[in-house]
Amino acid sequence: MRILKLVMLFLVASVGMAMAQQKEKTILTANISTPTVQCESCKNRIERYMKQEEGVQSVKVDFKKHITTVKYWTDRTNIENIKTGIANAGYDADNVAANPESYAKLPTCCKKPEDGGGMEKDKKKH
């Protein structure tokens, strides 16, 4: 009887641990506001930069809607790390401001209009 109880206890513990491990390894999707993303060059820069980040499965930047969609493994990273990664690429991400050094290295077309940037087609209209 004692052996049966030990076997049952072991099985319950094993199933519980397996479920906990499976729960930790989930993929979440986050939509992050990236208001300073203006063009295809910005899109490519963020996607290339974020694919190197640990735990990021995929990145899709919609520069027209100013939204970046990121799929990531929750056991490897979190939303704050992802926002910081986008900021380190030189762009604002929700409540995280762009890294000033990275922002300064961006091409003129990728900078904010108040800093003399903006898309080329917008400059031709003015």
How many domains, in total, are found in the chain?
1
Residue at 6 is within a domain: no
pLDDT at 10: 62
Question: Across 38-105, where does the E strand assignment appear?
Answer: 56-62, 67-73
Residue at 15 is within a domain: no
Residue at 10 is within a domain: no
Residue at 16 is within a domain: no
Range of the domain at 96: 27-125
pTM greater than the 0.95 cutoff? no
CATH number of the domain at 87, please: 3.30.70.100
- What is the block-wise mean pLDDT of the chain (126 residues), using blocks of 10 residues? 63 60 78 95 95 94 96 95 96 95 93 78 41
pLDDT at 46: 96
By the 8 A CB rule, do 75 and 25 touch? Answer: yes
Taking the chain, what is the end-to-end CA distance rounded to the nearest angstrom?
Answer: 87
Angle between helices 40-50 and 79-88 (to 10 degrees): 130
Residue at 74 is within a domain: yes
